[in-house]
Chain A
């Protein structure tokens, strides 16, 4: 079957977004939120958030990962219930018990992860769950109705194509059309451009503008990407750590202003890494490419080098290839192209076990699912990195006594709060589990440490501890590949900083060259200097 074409035709040219008068639609709030608060175990996701969306505008909701954007949208769509606060539609209070209620009122959502059935056709996906589809499927009538809709909104879709055949941009349009077919007049898009190519982004933005200006649809776009905000929105609300920090008209904002709101002025640089005389060349990565689990290109030709004593910081929002980068260097994912040299030897094809033996340590981002075994005790978890160690495994027997001693040392040194050594790992808090994992991996005295999101979800104390430990490892001659979303962390710890965006390094900056705004901008895809290896 042919893939869909997904072209967008604009039947009427749209007015300029940045014109002083704004768009020619009355500025009455169509959707409002007051005092929205949401708590999850251990974290305050949203803190008294107020939001006003005017009819017929495109409002951007901007913020870093963890700022609360998706939670807020899920509340607006009825997927999640707020702990406090109210929602209003055209001034009347509304309450959503489930997406069904939101859909009935006319709110549709296109989620960050595709909620389409990949194996089914476009038409089947559009029809799924529609009130009209109760008995026998009248696909002919659906085809007609959808055809009219496509005409009206200026969308071109091949209804008979299977969704897995479509490009990401086309899939997006299917989801948008699905919402419109259900009668949505308010469209919420959660990170719509995160998996789109630049031309697809252009198509999307043009189409959104047309939807709004020609059809009077209201659009909420959630994103962390500044170019999107500047290109398409009429107004922008900036969220940081669950609070609204700014709400302004896009034509009154500049990129700099927005970045500062997004990241916050209090960039704490208390912990700084002392510059170290770089030692031997330890790691050389040449033109590395790899595919993600979905079969898409996640890494597109990444190259860099790392010397003993250095920390190389890869800064970026999750989903730009970091996971694949870490896994490829750890040996858990095959390369599509490129080489990895460790200490001068090509180790591109070596197994994970061989890499542990060579002195490469890996701290994955998924603490509970990959880095540890939930039902194992602390001692047994330590064993994950020592089962192949001659000192612990003699003549087939596992020296649990020695393992216990080691675990005790780790628990002491790394301040892991646990009732005793034989408690199961799943009973530890995230922070303590991470400390255990860190201690365990570092006990191997690795020469290269891959740390992926090492302080995510940790409290201030644990975070400082982990960062301090990373720096100490370097002072003892190891090298660290730090992959993080936390700009503070990257700036404080790294000798080299590489913002990653869509599988490529935007640049490789030395410590002196980098500052929060530059790196933040590159992480968001604003500037891209092709930098050669240092």
Chain B
């Protein structure tokens, strides 16, 4: 685009140093928080006090902290579910669907073993829990793999397929837990059966063991992409599928594999949210809220771009959404302040994302030709 003597272009940024990434992220967070203070302008507390209340509840209050951490773990799994296919150049926006699939599969284990009412003689509780975790991962992986296979073999747009699957799974969950569906709980209030004590996720320091899984995955994910051969192949495919094919990377198995990995993470998110968070232990009637929350995994994945970097981001998201809910009640703000905050965060981050990948450059336009006059030459 020409601006007088200069041209304005968006050039791909050659390298993104980790320092640069972190600085940009921090700047974006500050801008976002500054902008969102608008929400609290008209309240009695004022923006700064409102933020103090939010953060102190989310991180200082023991109850609040636990809830924040639980939510952060959920978001962390979702982030990975989006990140792995993204590194291969594929958009897995089927996170909610895969979360639901994971939840359904997890609850299918006790259901199948008839263990949801009384302890089952078939499997000791410990193994049952393990089976639940595995089932959740497999279910999420299978659902994502479906989209992956369609893409790899038929080049069906993965965005559309995963989005459709979201809706399909959403209604399937309703079927399972409402109106006489197989999972319907004793209360018949449109939610699933409650997990018996024995099958609840064991906790460590008050936090379910899924936290270890998530944090472990965060650490391993960066290592995975940096150090392993498969991580290398995924990166290569994401940057240049033609060159990858030249190099002998299989153009069908690799995309399916990344979807399997992504889906597995989302499935684990489903297990964690419904079977591991203390106080829930069932697929609640408002499961859709958690499904939509999964979308925030996309934005945190785009900001953090990596495993370890995702942890502070999801903590921030989780804390803000929880604290805002609380503050909303205290400040008599309209419903949905938590959504508002998260939404605003999303909005401010997206332009910064562009700055990750591109830099705006003003370059001198090539000079115009000098006009040389000459006499008409002889033939």
Q: Is A373's CB under 8 angstroms from B240's CB?
A: yes
Chain A 346-362 per-residue mask, 1 if CB under 8 angstroms from chain B, else 0: 00000111001000001
Q: Is A376's CB under 8 angstroms from B236's CB?
A: yes
> B3 in the interface, Cβ–Cβ < 8 Å?
no
Chain A 379-401 per-residue mask, 1 if CB under 8 angstroms from chain B, else 0: 01001110110000100111010
Alpha-carbon separation in the docked complex, A398 to B230 (Å) = 8
Alpha-carbon separation in the docked complex, A88 to B248 (Å) = 54
> B377 in the interface, Cβ–Cβ < 8 Å?
yes
> A167 in the interface, Cβ–Cβ < 8 Å?
no
Q: Is A81's CB under 8 angstroms from B369's CB?
A: yes
In the complex, which residue of chain A has the Cβ closest to the Cβ of B374?
A: A86
B233 CB → nearest A CB, Å: 6
Q: Tell me whether A91 and B247 are in contact in the complex, defined as CB-CB below 8 angstroms, given that A373-B239, A397-B228 are known contacts.
A: no
Determine which residue in B232, B233, B249 has the highest number of CB atoms from chain A within 10 A of its CB, and name it: B232
Q: Is A398's CB under 8 angstroms from B246's CB?
A: no
> A34 in the interface, Cβ–Cβ < 8 Å?
yes
In the complex, which residue of chain B has the Cβ closest to the Cβ of A82?
A: B369
Q: Is B236's CB under 8 angstroms from A84's CB?
A: no
Of the candidates B227, B242, B379, the one whose C-beta lies within 8 Å of that of A400 is: B227
Alpha-carbon separation in the docked complex, A397 to B379 (Å) = 73
Q: Tell me whether A398 and B232 are in contact in the complex, defined as CB-CB below 8 angstroms, given that A353-B250, A370-B246, A384-B243 are known contacts.
A: yes
Chain A, interface SS category: mixed
Q: Is B229's CB under 8 angstroms from A353's CB?
A: no
For chain B residues 200-257, which have a beta carbon within 8 Å of chain A?
227-233, 235-236, 239-240, 242-250
Q: Tell me whether A353 and B246 are in contact in the complex, defined as CB-CB below 8 angstroms, given that A32-B377, A397-B229 are known contacts.
A: no
> B154 in the interface, Cβ–Cβ < 8 Å?
no
Q: Tell me whether A52 and B379 are in contact in the complex, defined as CB-CB below 8 angstroms, given that A393-B229, A397-B228 are known contacts.
A: yes
Alpha-carbon separation in the docked complex, A52 to B248 (Å) = 52
Q: Tell me whether A364 and B229 are in contact in the complex, defined as CB-CB below 8 angstroms, given that A34-B377, A86-B374, A373-B236 are known contacts.
A: no
Q: Is A372's CB under 8 angstroms from B243's CB?
A: yes
Q: Tell me whether A384 and B245 are in contact in the complex, defined as CB-CB below 8 angstroms, given that A91-B376, A424-B14 are known contacts.
A: no
For chain A residues 202-257, which have a beta carbon within 8 Å of chain B?
none
Determine which residue in B228, B231, B233, B240 has the highest number of CB atoms from chain A within 10 A of its CB, and name it: B240
Q: How large is the interface on B (under 10, 10 to 19, 20 to 34, 35 or more residues)?
A: 20 to 34
Q: Is A396's CB under 8 angstroms from B228's CB?
A: yes
Q: For B231, what are the chain A residues with a Cβ–Cβ distance below 8 Å?
A: 398
B214 CB → nearest A CB, Å: 22
B240 CB → nearest A CB, Å: 5
B258 CB → nearest A CB, Å: 16
In the complex, which residue of chain B has the Cβ closest to the Cβ of A52?
A: B379
A90 CB → nearest B CB, Å: 10
Alpha-carbon separation in the docked complex, A14 to B374 (Å) = 38
Q: Is A427's CB under 8 angstroms from B227's CB?
A: no
Q: Is B248's CB under 8 angstroms from A353's CB?
A: yes
For chain A residues 280-304, which have a beta carbon within 8 Å of chain B?
none
Alpha-carbon separation in the docked complex, A332 to B248 (Å) = 9
Q: For B242, what are the chain A residues with a Cβ–Cβ distance below 8 Å?
A: 369-370
> A343 in the interface, Cβ–Cβ < 8 Å?
no
A382 CB → nearest B CB, Å: 11
> A412 in the interface, Cβ–Cβ < 8 Å?
no
Q: Is B372's CB under 8 angstroms from A86's CB?
A: yes
Alpha-carbon separation in the docked complex, A182 to B23 (Å) = 58
Q: Is B377's CB under 8 angstroms from A376's CB?
A: no
A105 CB → nearest B CB, Å: 17
Q: For B372, what are the chain A residues with a Cβ–Cβ distance below 8 Å?
A: 84-86
> A405 in the interface, Cβ–Cβ < 8 Å?
no
Determine which residue in A93, A424, A427 has the highest number of CB atoms from chain B within 10 A of its CB, and name it: A93
Q: Is B240's CB under 8 angstroms from A380's CB?
A: no
> B15 in the interface, Cβ–Cβ < 8 Å?
yes
In the complex, which residue of chain B has the Cβ closest to the Cβ of A389?
A: B229
> In the complex, given contacts A332-B245, A374-B239, what are 16 additional A-B residue pairs having Cβ atoms less than 8 angstroms apart?
A86-B372, A88-B377, A91-B376, A93-B376, A95-B371, A330-B246, A351-B248, A353-B248, A369-B243, A370-B243, A370-B246, A373-B240, A375-B12, A375-B239, A384-B246, A424-B15
A–B Cβ pairs within 8 angstroms, 17 of them? A32-B377, A84-B372, A93-B376, A330-B246, A332-B245, A353-B249, A356-B248, A373-B244, A374-B240, A384-B247, A387-B229, A387-B233, A393-B229, A396-B230, A398-B227, A398-B232, A426-B14
Q: Give 10 nearest A-B pairs by CB, closest first.
A: A353-B248, A384-B247, A393-B229, A398-B229, A373-B240, A352-B248, A91-B376, A373-B243, A370-B246, A373-B239
